[in-house]
Structure 1
Amino acid sequence: MNVKKVLYIEGTVNLIMALLKFIVGLTVQSTAIIADAAHSLSDVANNGLAFLAIRFSEKPADDDHPYGHEKFETLAVFALASSLVIIAFEVIIHAVQRIGEPIEPSPVGFWLLVACVVINIGLTTWEHYWAKRLNSHLLHADAKHTLGDVMTSVAVIAGWQLASMGWYWIDAVTAIGVAGIIFYFAFQLFKQSIPILVDGTKLDNAAVGKTVQKLDGIESVHSIRSRYNGKHVAADLIITVAPDMPTEAAHELANEVESILKNKFNVEDAVVHIEPDPQYTADKENPDKKE
């Protein structure tokens, strides 16, 4: 099993559920159910987008992308969040336009929607399992989205049943509630993807500097930078050493720093730049001033 196969299976299941919800929604004239169906249909489109993103992210580094293509996966998460925001606005507009319109009951439709909820519970559990096993940022995000589908469908079923008893306005309120849930999950996905896309700092710079400076031979540590591409952490920093330190010794010191970054801070790609310490030179030239 790989990420692309998981997305393919999930996309197929989402398409079937979207069609079932559309049939039920159109039959009973429920805005909330139609909104839920549109939400499920968007899942299918997002699965396709994620599938393409995975194909790009698996490509090795090249001249145009020397740091690799992993961020394409995060870009797909951002696109997923953006599409959810659009769907949420459309649901609200449609719900407001249909406030007070009659809603029909349907025992068959009820059990079809219950079946969709059960399938979605199984789907999100299964996807969480493979997200953890394959260490996929995208699958984790998609699994959370699927969990949102479960919550949405439960709310839709409850609202539909009450609306079919004569409280028609409840269907519109439920649809708006669905939109609120969609907004919430979009916000969570934005929080997850934007820091990666804009190269937000991943490590605690103070902790990194304090740990590295404990090594013998390092006079100072500065210009610490780190970022996360969705799969790996990259970091670079500058260490200063005595100007008269032999090149080989300085190189070994840089290797020690890289080892610390990898073992203690889980940095996959580390760059250590070495510079002569200006204060060390000044103190050596003016020993009286140092005292």
Structure 2
Amino acid sequence: MQGIRSQEVRKVLWLTLLLNLFVMALKFALGIATGSLSLQADALHSVTDSANNVLGLVTNRFSSPKPDREHPYGHQKFEAVGALGIAAFLGIACFEILQGAVEKIFFNSDQIAIQVSGAELWLLLVVLGVNIFVAFYERRVGRKVNSPILIADAKHTMSDIWVTIIVIAGLLGVWQAENLNIPQLQWLDVVLAFPVALLVFYSGWQVISENLPWLVDEMAIAPEAIHDLVMEVPGVINCHDIASRGMLGRQVFIEMHLIVDTDDIITAHQITEKIEDHLERNFGTVRVLIHVEPLEYESDDISFGSTEPTDNNYIVEN
């Protein structure tokens, strides 16, 4: 199943890489031909699209939930690392866009005027259509196979759509500046470079906020939710010191201390297996570590680390 998922992700990444390279080349050519700063910045933004696809192909090659000797918890965090790489590329693009706009306003204001033709605007509409296809295609497949790298890249491409729309609007204004006898419209190209940068930054922030919790082992499932499900299993007396990490919907690791109504090891083991099955039915793919304790270690501390450890707890943990 994981192999099929990886193949699907790679197929999407290769297709979108080719489309992004086409878009990038066309934007650069039009940006140079027209002298448009916002269009050149948009082309720079598209460079990150292609780099993201390459990064996604690399991380997809190494990402897997299956454990091995060197990675006993699997390799899926490689995808989160790849998604953060996308955020880094977006940050670089944002800086370059702002730098170019500021330089043109304060140091090269005599170079504001640009030339745009109707044919060049039509080509930009083609670019917009390609971006829309890539964004929705990546998002649909990403959700289908639950791939963070595809979902993150789809969000990046979605920001590219808005960037391109802004650029087209600015170039339309520049195109009509002479016909309408409003020379101030020539400044639209530079002025609109700033919202372009803000959209790029926002896209990067979204990617970081969605993937960083996974890398820093933030709580994946509320311990109270786990506790309520565990207590539904017959034979469970007490469940405490619950911890979870990972990402719900992909893979979650759960730890807990458990007290069961039996002294028989086999029966206790059967109860823990029922707990694992129950949690998997409710939360999807999970790996559960259960520490069975005697009745005298019963505790009301549902969340792991919610109170200072007592001497008894210290003995148990060691």
SS of the equivalent of 1:214 reads coil
Structure 1 counterpart of 2:113: 102
Structure 2 counterpart of 1:148: 159
Opposite residue 138 of structure 2, the aligned amino acid is E
Opposite residue 232 of structure 2, the aligned amino acid is K
Structure 1 counterpart of 2:49: 43
Query: Could you say if the C-alpha distance between residues 119 and 218 of structure 1 is closer, same or farther in structure 2, counting changes exceeding 3 Å?
Result: same
* Percent of aligned positions that are identical: 34
Structure 2 counterpart of 1:241: 260
Q: Distance in 1 between matches of 2:227 and 2:66?
A: 31
Structure 2 counterpart of 1:7: 13
Q: Distance in 2 between matches of 1:22 and 1:215?
A: 62
**Displacement of 1:46:** 1.2
Residues 1:270 and 2:288 aligned together: yes
Q: Distance in 2 between matches of 1:129 and 1:219?
A: 44
1:257, 1:272 within 8 Å by CA — same for their partners in 2? no
Q: CA RMSD in A?
A: 1.8
Opposite residue 273 of structure 1, the aligned amino acid is H
1:224, 1:236 within 8 Å by CA — same for their partners in 2? yes
Which residues of structure 1 form unaligned runs of 5+?
Answer: 281-291
Question: Which of 16, 24, 34 is the matching residue for 1:18?
Answer: 24
**TM-score normalized with structure 2 length:** 0.83
Question: Which of 174, 194, 206 is the matching residue for 2:212?
Answer: 194
1:235, 1:267 within 8 Å by CA — same for their partners in 2? no
**Displacement of 1:135:** 2.5
Q: Distance in 1 between matches of 2:203 and 2:195?
A: 13
Opposite residue 240 of structure 1, the aligned amino acid is I
Cα deviation code 1:174-222 (max 9, x no counterpart): 1111100001111110111101111111112112112212334323211
1:196-275 equivalences under 5 Å are 196-229=214-247, 231-241=250-260, 245-275=263-293
Which residues of structure 2 form unaligned runs of 5+?
Answer: 1-6, 178-182, 299-318
Opposite residue 149 of structure 1, the aligned amino acid is D
**Displacement of 1:252:** 1.3
1:74, 1:197 within 8 Å by CA — same for their partners in 2? yes
2:30, 2:120 within 8 Å by CA — same for their partners in 1? yes
**Displacement of 1:267:** 4.2
**Displacement of 1:111:** 1.1
